[in-house]
Structure 1
Amino acid sequence: MASLRKRNNKWEYRIRVKNKQTGEWGEHSKGGFVTKKEAALAAGKAEIEYEYFGFVENGKETIGHYLPAWFELYKRPSLAESTSELQWRVIEKNILPRWGNYSIKDIERNEYRKWLVELKKQYSEGTLRRIHSIFNSAMHDAVTEFKIIRENPLARTKVPTDKKELADRKLKFFTVTEMKAFLDAAKIKVKNSKYKDSNERYVLYSLLCSTGLRIGEALALEWKDIDFATKMLTVNKTVYYANNSKVATVSSTKTTSSERIIQIDDELIQLLKYHRINQNQMHLLYPASRPKDVNGKKLPLLFHNWSGTYWRANVIRDHFTDVCKRADVPLLSPHALRHSHAVHLLEAGASIKYVSSRLGHKTTKTTADTYLHITKKIEQDALDLYKNHLKNTK
């Protein structure tokens, strides 16, 4: 129950609140109201908001209390399980140990900036950006959603960078020639390899080149996801190993928009049919590689390791690097095949909307921003064609 009192011709309310994390009781007060009724209404609103959100509008909430509550309420429900776990690890490992005991109102931009500079000695710019993005988003919501503070002290803070890392961040993809050389190298059977008769990884790389799937999406595919009659591929899940777990986690795709059905070409259809035959042959040669029972049902996977379960992405990355070396192409990662597919589609004249839908991006802006230099080049080429047309037309 709120208590009201008049101070210097203005009304003030006080409410008792219980820290849901520690169980301790405290008081929250706010003044400056012209009438007693205004103060009473504001007190009632504050009590309701505290009951719903778990914090109040005085900025005294600690980061240690606010951030976990914010994450559970505002972030986790909208994230894929793998992304959610990654972001929570960042909060738990990096943000809370340093800032957990600070009140939200006591976070200062200069101190925060110095912290980022210190972190730069331990982490890559990509990791630093992830840390900053999560913390900045939480503080932004403290202003706009919960009205705990008036201004986000982390806004407009720039993540420290250097020229080398700027170069490393450049979009990485294979040219058409490089991609063909890579696939040719992936097809070659490695001498003395135990499973040299398997075409599994070659088919995996071919599928990534032809569809632009994320590696986790491809490794989660089951045979039922392919409709050979209509030549359509359903993408609705991803696989990952959380915290170096020995058991794979299969979850929904990265975002709702990532769930999609895409068309695949005749060449890939034929390759997948051959792969299914080859996979069965390998099961006969190596019975231990047959798909295993998980929760009482078989795993009818397109791609699986020699124990009959999901591949780890890092194992595929290591093999990918070996193939790059054999092909004498840039040492990229499997994700480069996703970028390569998108770039080649755009260069071939596909629309941004089509590419965005095929990749499962949330908006076309995401696609346009990611492949900005490609779209600019295409626009310039189109403009040059237009100018030439005008010159040569009498």
Structure 2
Amino acid sequence: YFYVRILDIGAIGGLTWDNVDFEKKEIYVKNIYDYQDTKKIVPRTKTPSSVRTIPLLPELSIILKQLKKEQAEWQLKNKYRDPENAVFKSSECKIPTDTGCIKTLMLIQDEINIPRKQQIATHGLRHTLASYLLAKGVQIKYVSELLGHKNTAITMRAYEHLLKEQNIEQQGKTLNALNELSK
């Protein structure tokens, strides 16, 4: 579900199988699903900076390969050919909505006994992922690119509180390095 929030719902709906590279272990964000006007996958993103490459974790690769296999079997059995080649489609062959994603996430959290008051919403997953990566020392430039932010200033504003903590840590490292020089 972290991938759900690296991407916005339009990018999730716009993900096609030709944008999942199992060999290179990458997902390419190049399309969106236009929920407003055309109700189709279109070859553009919300902003130019939203075009990006996301690493494909081995666990997700296994899940996506299984999904692709099951879709192919279902399509063959039902004589259906998806003209959009979409990764995510409902059993009614429709692109998932934000509401559908939210409901599914809530059901999963219910199943693993997370109390409703402690449950995280889909957008919260995006912040959780970014916060986690920054806390683990991933460079802000990379996190910014992963999230599709136009520049690092946007990411810095959103995660300023974490960066202040890192600055304190960096200050200690700086003092230690300078003390070593003076010996």
Matched, 1:323 2:114: no
Matched, 1:279 2:71: yes
1:381 CA displacement: 2.8
**Amino acid in structure 2 at the alignment position of 1:351:** Q
Matched, 1:349 2:137: yes
Q: Specify the SS of the correspondent of 2:96.
A: coil
Report percent identity of matched pairs.
28
1:375 is aligned, of 157, 160, 163, to 163
1:355 CA displacement: 1.0
CA, structure 1 residues 319+240, in 2 after alignment: closer, same or farther (shift >3 Å)?
Answer: farther
| Equivalent residue number for residue 99 of structure 2 | 314
Aligned residues: 178
Normalising by structure 2, report the TM-score.
0.80
CA, structure 1 residues 248+238, in 2 after alignment: closer, same or farther (shift >3 Å)?
Answer: same
1:226 is aligned, of 13, 17, 20, to 20
Q: Specify the SS of the correspondent of 1:270.
A: helix
Measured on the aligned residues, the alpha-carbon RMSD in Å equals 3.0
CA, structure 1 residues 240+318, in 2 after alignment: closer, same or farther (shift >3 Å)?
Answer: farther
Q: Specify the SS of the correspondent of 2:108.
A: helix
Distance across 2 between alignment mates of 1:236 and 1:331:
31
| Equivalent residue number for residue 52 of structure 2 | 260
**Amino acid in structure 2 at the alignment position of 1:229:** E
Q: Specify the SS of the correspondent of 1:234.
A: strand
Q: Specify the SS of the correspondent of 1:268.
A: helix
1:344 CA displacement: 1.7
| Equivalent residue number for residue 39 of structure 2 | 248
1:387 CA displacement: 5.2
Q: Specify the SS of the correspondent of 2:62.
A: helix
Q: Specify the SS of the correspondent of 2:33.
A: strand
| Equivalent residue number for residue 3 of structure 2 | 207
Distance across 2 between alignment mates of 1:314 and 1:284:
29
Distance across 2 between alignment mates of 1:377 and 1:234:
32
**Structure 2 gap segments, 5+ residues each:** none
| Equivalent residue number for residue 84 of structure 2 | 299
Q: Specify the SS of the correspondent of 1:241.
A: coil
CA, structure 1 residues 206+375, in 2 after alignment: closer, same or farther (shift >3 Å)?
Answer: closer
1:375 CA displacement: 1.4
| Structure with more relative contact order (C-alpha pairs < 8 Å, separation 6 or more) | 2
Residue deviations 1:21-47 (CA, integer Å, cap 9, x gap): xxxxxxxxxxxxxxxxxxxxxxxxxxx
Q: For the Cα contact (< 8 Å) 1:223–1:302, is it kept in 2?
A: yes
Residue deviations 1:225-266 (CA, integer Å, cap 9, x gap): 012222222101222432xx8x72434211111112233233
**Structure 1 gap segments, 5+ residues each:** 1-204, 293-297
Determine which structure has more spread, i.e. the larger CA radius of gyration.
1
Distance across 1 between alignment mates of 2:13 and 2:56:
17
Matches for 1:80-119 after TM superposition, within 5 Å: none
Q: For the Cα contact (< 8 Å) 2:10–2:35, is it kept in 1?
A: no
Residue deviations 1:167-214 (CA, integer Å, cap 9, x gap): xxxxxxxxxxxxxxxxxxxxxxxxxxxxxxxxxxxxxx26337xx222
1:312 CA displacement: 1.6
| Equivalent residue number for residue 361 of structure 1 | 149
Matches for 1:92-171 after TM superposition, within 5 Å: none
